[in-house]
Amino acid sequence: MYILKRFFTMILTIWVIATLTFVMMKFIPGDPFASDADVLPEEVLNNMRAKYNLDKPIAVQYVLYIKDLVSLDLGPSIQSRTRSVNDIILSGFPPSALLGAQALVLALVFGLLLGIIAALYHNRFIDYLAMIIAIIGISIPSFILAPLLIKFFSVEWGLFPVATWGTWKHTVLPSLALASMPLAVVARFMRSSMIEVMNANYIKTADAKGLSTAGIVIKHGIRNAILPVVSFIGPLFASLITGTFVIEKIFAIPGIGRYFVDSIFNRDYPVIMGTTIFFSVILVVTLFLIDISYRLIDPRISLTSKEG
């Protein structure tokens, strides 16, 4: 029942996002054919506007768009005239998703490890070392880290290809650049909540019963401390697997990250809408799964009155 209800609100949420985006996009001055206006005769431009329904009133455009959307047709792209938005997403999503997923796994595994170790050695040398690593990770933005990685790992040491897409080796540097910031954030969250949890009475009880430190950490510590990390990775997952503009640009990766930005600058209306809706679907589904997982991690949590 709860799941069914959430499913309908998810559709409603996506519709609200689509509508607001549509309205905002139309409010921004500009014309997708601005660069053609000087070279093409007026009649051709008018024909092109007619092809994309841009000659009709905005309300009609909106209704036509929602109609297409219901049949899962995101329309044609204005910028790349031969491709539809569906094509763009289908071909660009796999590379972006692969990079994003790798980066997320990297950030989670090493972030959690770093955070847990730092918490266990609270206010000791290892703690300071781990947090200095984390602070460096937060302090260096990806657009600085990526060129540095290329300079050392590709140009100087020749370990990985400089850019573009192909083998697994091509994914290593962009994944590292993507992972640095989330890794640091995960480590800091985990450390902070782990320090609190390790002070709790049930940990002392477990310790008094003679459980090994590893046992305490794995069975009692992590499970109680991981919730902030789970809250954090929900939206992060959605934005990582739909690609990032900066990283995909620097490494020349054929992902969909750049369309989120380029489409807005080109006023490529169908692509703006298509990428936004695609991202929103992934986002609301992820946030729903995160809400469900809260209960699995901590059964004391009740999301609705009936369950609780």
**Structure tokens belonging to residue 109:** 């595994």
Residue from the set 195, 203, 207, 254 that interacts with other proteins by CB under 8 A: 195
Among 88, 160, 272, 274, binds other proteins (CB under 8 A): 272
User: Could you say which residues in the range 27-66 bind other proteins, by CB under 8 A?
Assistant: 27-29
Q: Which is nearer to other proteins, 36 or 298 (CB)?
A: 298
- In angstroms and rounded to an integer, the radius of gyration of the C-alpha atoms of the chain is 24
Q: List C-alpha distances in Å: 116 to 138, 201, 218, 228, 284.
A: 18, 18, 10, 14, 30
How many residues touch other proteins under the rule CB under 8 A: the total is 66
Minimum Å gap between C-beta 132 and other proteins is: 8
For residues 220 and 225, give the distance between their C-alpha atoms in angstroms, rounded to a whole number. Answer: 9
Mention every residue, 6+ apart, whose C-beta is less than 8 A from residue 256: 88, 89, 92, 93, 96, 242, 243, 275, 278
Do the Cβ atoms of 257 and 242 come closer than 8 Å?
Answer: yes
Nearest to other proteins of 29, 210 (CB atom) = 29
Q: Which of 112, 161, 176, 188 is in the footprint of other proteins by CB under 8 A?
A: 188
The one among 41, 189, 205, 215 contacting other proteins by CB under 8 A: 189
Distance in angstroms (rounded) separating the CA atoms of residues 24 and 33? 19
Q: Which of 82, 201 has the CB closer to other proteins? A: 201
**Least distance in angstroms from the C-beta of 262 to other proteins:** 10
Q: Whose structure tokens read 């989120």?
A: 260
Q: Which is nearer to other proteins, 31 or 212 (CB)?
A: 31
Min. distance of Cβ 176 from other proteins in angstroms? 17
Smaller CB separation from other proteins, 101 or 264: 264
Closest to other proteins by CB, 187 vs 216, is: 187
Which of residues 6 and 170 has its CB atom nearest to other proteins in the complex? Answer: 6
CB 254 within 8 A of CB 240: no
Single-letter residue type at 229: V
| Rounded (5°) CA angle 278-29-279 | 10
d(CA 290, CA 192): 21
With beta carbons less than 8 A apart as the criterion, state whether 261 and 217 touch.
no
Q: What is the rounded CA–CA span in Å between residue 72 and residue 99? A: 26
- Select from 45, 113, 211, 227 the one that contacts other proteins (CB under 8 A): 227
Could you give the CA distance from residue 203 to residue 119 in angstroms, rounded to a whole number?
14
Stretch that binds other proteins, among 55-63, 101-109, 203-211, 261-269 (CB under 8 A): 261-269
Q: Is 298 in the site for other proteins (CB under 8 A)?
A: yes
Identify residues 97-156 at the interface with other proteins (CB under 8 A): 131-132, 135-136, 138-141, 143-144, 147-148, 151, 155
- Which residues on neighbouring strands pair with residue 84, listed in sequence order? 76
Give the single-character DSSP code of 221: I
Binding site for other proteins (CB under 8 A): 9, 12-14, 16-17, 20-21, 24-25, 27-29, 131-132, 135-136, 138-141, 143-144, 147-148, 151, 155, 185, 188-189, 192-193, 195-196, 199, 227-228, 230-232, 234-235, 238, 246, 260-261, 264-265, 272, 275-276, 279-280, 283-284, 287, 294, 298, 300-305, 307-308
